[in-house]
Amino acid sequence: MTRTAIVTGAARGIGAATARRLAADGHAVAVLDLDAAHCAGTVQAITDAGGRAIALGADVSDAASVEAAVAQVVEQLEAPTILVNNAGIIRDNLLFRMTEDDWDAVMAVHLRGAFLMARAVQEHQVRAGWGRIVNLSSTSALGNRGQANYAAAKAGMQGFTKTLALELGRFGVTANAVAPGFIVTDMTRATAERLGTPLEEFITARAAEIPVQRAGTPDDVAAAVAFFCSEGAGFVSGQVLYVAGGPRA
């Protein structure tokens, strides 16, 4: 069945791959990112493949911006019933160097963003009696040096997900989290830069520690998100799926 999905942070990386995958699965997709112009590539890829997509510019941490974006989806596509909270940033620093801004910025995009988006979309899901929410967590939720802010946010995403599953289940809405391990995107490039390691060297070293002996790709994550969004996953809710090539990152 065709549904309407919103994927946040979908201009690039995991979000873009997820938007393309959901479109390939037959859904209309709102490709949301901070700047609508940056969504053009993802929208073009979807429409070139015969799918339906629109670009949306919105800041997920801003309530008015979120409300306006969801209203635009209703107007230009139809009421959204699939939501993927993927938008994310990193502001890595060891605790003693971490600023209040580093902390607040990460909480705002991941946690406040997922909260505002879910609150705006649930109304349409409840009305339809069907919905899928997928939140992007991370193996960093288990703790990661230099990421006190990000690890706390990604662990928070898991508690948020389980609570949505409890509250929204009776309306036919499931909520699950996907927790990627080492996936090569611009975010990985930023981490390699911070550590002062050339990207290829960084990828090779990390891949050697992963049981399947390779780095993950955005498509690996998109496949897991697509499963949670599928019709067949209606009895799976409140789960966290680690997509990390092994049991640990």
Q: Which residues are catalytic?
A: 150
Tell whether residue 116 is a contact of ligand NAP (CB under 6 A). no
Interface positions, 190-249, toward ligand NAP (CB under 6 A): none
Task: Give the contacts of 80 (CB within 8 A, at least 6 positions apart).
Answer: 4, 5, 6, 30, 70, 73, 74, 121, 124, 125
Whole-angstrom distance, CA of residue 188 vs CA of residue 199:
8
User: How far apart are CB 17 and ligand NAP at their closest, in Å?
Assistant: 8
Q: How far is residue 132 from each of residues 10, 20, 32, 50, 54, measured CA to CA in Å? A: 17, 17, 17, 23, 19
Q: Does 125 bind ligand NAP (CB under 6 A)?
A: no
Cβ atoms of residues 84 and 4 within 8 Å:
no
User: 27 and 50 in contact (C-beta within 8 Å)?
Assistant: no
Closer residue to ligand NAP, CB minimum distance, 110 or 130: 110
Site string for ligand NAP, 151-190 (x = CB under 6 A): -----------------------------x-xx-xxxx--
CB of 171 to ligand NAP, least distance (A): 25
Nearest to 153 by CA among 202, 222, 92: 92
Task: Report yes or no: 53 and 19 within 8 Å, Cβ to Cβ.
Answer: yes
Regarding 70 and contact with ligand NAP (CB under 6 A), the answer is no
Q: Among 33-41, 47-55, 165-173, 202-210, which window interacts with ligand NAP (CB under 6 A)?
A: 33-41
- How many Cβ atoms from other residues are within 10 Å of residue 44's Cβ? 12
> Residue from 6, 84, 89, 164 that binds ligand NAP (CB under 6 A)?
89
Binding site for ligand NAP (CB under 6 A): 8-9, 11-15, 33-35, 38, 59-61, 86-89, 109, 113, 136, 138, 180, 182-183, 185-188
